Amino acid sequence: MSESITIKSPHEIEIMRQAAKIAAGARSMGRQAVRDGMTTRQIDRAVHEFIVKSGAVPSCLGYEGFPAATCVSVNDEVIHGIPGRRTVHNGDIVSIDLCATYKGFVGDCAGTYPVGEVSEEARKLMEVTRQAFFEGIKFAKVGYRVLDIGEAVQDYVESHGFSVVRDFVGHGIGRGMHEAPEVPNYRPARSAGRVNPRLVKGMTICVEPMVCAGDWAVRILRDGWTVVTADHSLAAHYENTILITDGEPEILTMADDI
Ligand code: MF3
Ligand code: CO
């Protein structure tokens, strides 16, 4: 995490748009690969190939040693699932999270998708997680502060009976995948003394609700990466890279199917 918030120039924003567009396209490819009988590695391959064909670099691959282009997290896995031989089946929900670096700038997005027919609870969880992002970015404007986003995410999620993960947060983005500021999905205790910067035109940040159907406590599997809910309840994740503007935020990782 770099020390200070970077404000992007118009030229840098143009490159961020291109990087983010590739990331969004890769997410769409991953989404289409979420089908009964597919392995999580095949889902990763679809994402990886799209990023490379687009002239970008899959920035998660090798990041702090992560071994793939895509984090693929199934059911009670919240984030950072490692793609492998596991197959996904009807009724599963599958989270995909990826980054693409293009001309030195990173685009980052995630989404959770159903395999075939899923339970009512799973469907509601995915919808609330996605909508929580849109509730949060109502405050992603000049005149608000970073923590206003998380408050809105938390209130929306909890009003639907779900919980938000505390141990992982959204982040600034630019030349680095993770830049300042941290963007929590909850209202930190005052005593936590979190910095709460003002939102400024030209900031690019990732807003990424991670939502659990049960309790928000998580643990990390012995692979050192996969984050699962401690109570094994279902979890969903939804993320876009956004730009703070004079008016409404611009969702840089926008695509027809987000
Ligand atoms: N895309 C993730 C994020 O939202 C980062 C994945 S961690 C990695 O921050 F190691 F897989 F890259
Ligand atoms: Co992110």
Per-residue tokens: 232:
């094994």
Alpha carbon distances (Å) from 142 to 125, 153, 206: 30, 18, 16
What the chain holds in terms of domains, given with CATH numbers, is 10-251 (3.90.230.10)
Among residues 124, 126, 119, which one has the least CA distance to residue 91? 119
Distance CA(120)–CA(147), nearest Å, equals 31
Q: What is the pTM of this model?
A: 0.97
Atom 8 of ligand 1, residue of closest alpha carbon = 60
Mean pLDDT of 128-141: 98
* Eight-class DSSP state of 239: B
Q: Is the CB of 63 under 6 A from ligand 1?
A: yes
Say if residue 226's pLDDT is above 70: yes
Task: Answer yes or no: is pLDDT of 192 > 80.
Answer: no
Pairing assessment for the beta strands 235-237 and 240-243 based on DSSP bridges = unpaired
251 lines ligand 1 (CB under 6 A): no
Report pLDDT for 95: 99
Q: Angle formed by the axes of helices 146-159 and 120-136, to 10°?
A: 150
Kindly state the average pLDDT of the residues 100-117: 98
Q: Is the CB of 44 under 6 A from ligand 1?
A: no
Q: How far is the CA of 60 from the centre of ligand 1 (A)?
A: 6
